[in-house]
A and B are shown apart, each in its own frame.
Chain A
Amino acid sequence: DAKTTQPTSMDCAEGRAANLPCNHSTISGNEYVYWYRQIHSQGPQYIIHGLKNNETNEMASLIITEDRKSSTLILPHATLRDTAVYYCIVRVANAGGTSYGKLTFGQGTILTVHP
């Protein structure tokens, strides 16, 4: 699986958008980008994933560059409860995206949302 690089930590003001970058310059054509977050001492929570198109759900938006070498997770209106460690993961899938390989985590980004 391709490795990812994320900043160690970021700050964001409450109510503002939080933009978390991820570099995955060695990503392969059959690898998806996944984002999870972990609040202290809990199990990680799935946020969003995508292949090459931008994606949006009720939690966040995922912007993937055209060359797929980097992506940005956007939390549009950050709240104090969004303070967590955010993990960007690339994960192999078969050609049809119908089955997936193992899930390997990196160090993640510590996002601190302050009042």
Chain B
Amino acid sequence: DGGITQSPKYLFRKEGQNVTLSCEQNLNHDAMYWYRQDPGQGLRLIYYSQIVNDFQKGDIAEGYSVSREKKESFPLTVTSAQKNPTAFYLCASNKRTGNAEAFFGQGTRLTVV
């Protein structure tokens, strides 16, 4: 079945360590997105990519990095420069044309201790 997969579902890391969150889609979507969600809050856009080998900063990109070497994959690295990395992270993808309905993964809950 086609879909978008985030792994792992729960992730624990020590403060000061970089950590990479995985996002893979087999929907042949051009655009991919990373969002952060804090308790009781809406989704905030971290980075997005409209095509392979290109990406743009969202509203809260500081302390994060991404790559888009393949159409199917858009990994997010939470660096030690991110002051408050504990959050729920969501990845999404959509076609750039037509309906452009965005599909979301089930999220990764990152806890930094």
For window 85-113 of B, CB contacts with A under 8 Å fall at 88, 90, 92, 94, 96-107
Binary interface encoding of chain A residues 76-110 relative to chain B, with 1 for a CB under 8 A from any of its CBs, else 0: 00000000010100010100001110111111100
Find B97's partner among A43, A98, A105 (CB 8 Å cutoff).
A98
| Interface flag for B42 (CB, 8 Å) | yes
B92 and A43 within 8 A (CB):
yes
Across-interface contacts of B63 in A (CB, < 8 A)? none
B100 & A45 in contact (Cβ 8 Å cutoff)? no
- Known contacts: A87-B42, A107-B42. The answer to whether A43 contacts B107 by CB under 8 A is yes
B64 part of interface (Cβ distance < 8 Å): no
B99: nearest chain-A partner, CB-CB: A49
Which range contains the number of A residues in contact with the other chain? 20 to 34
Known contacts: A43-B106, A44-B104, A46-B102. The answer to whether A102 contacts B42 by CB under 8 A is no
Q: Are A103 and B94 in contact (CB under 8 A)?
A: yes
The reply to whether B35 and A105 contact each other, CB–CB distance below 8 Å, is yes
Question: Most B CB atoms within 10 A — which of A36, A42, A100, A106?
Answer: A100
B92/A102 in contact, CB under 8 A = no
Task: Choose from A36, A98, A104 the contact partner of B98 (Cβ within 8 Å).
Answer: A98
Please, how many angstroms separate the alpha-carbon atoms of A101 and B78 in the complex?
24
Verify if B48 is at the interface (C-beta below 8 Å from A): yes
- B104 proximity list for chain A (CB < 8 A): 43-45
**Residue contact B97 to A102, C-beta cutoff 8 Å:** no
Cβ-defined partner of A41 (8 Å) among B44, B97, B100, B107: B107
8 residue pairs, one from A and one from B, having the closest CB atoms:
A43-B104, A105-B43, A100-B100, A46-B101, A107-B42, A98-B97, A99-B96, A105-B42
Interface residues of A (CB under 8 A from B): 36, 41-46, 49, 85, 87, 91, 93, 98-100, 102-108
Which chain B residues have a beta carbon within 8 Å of chain A's beta carbons? 31, 33, 35, 41-45, 48, 56, 58-59, 88, 90, 92, 94, 96-107
Q: What are 15 A-B contacts defined by CB distance under 8 Å?
A: A41-B88, A43-B106, A44-B90, A44-B92, A44-B102, A46-B102, A46-B103, A99-B96, A100-B94, A102-B45, A102-B56, A103-B45, A104-B45, A104-B59, A107-B41
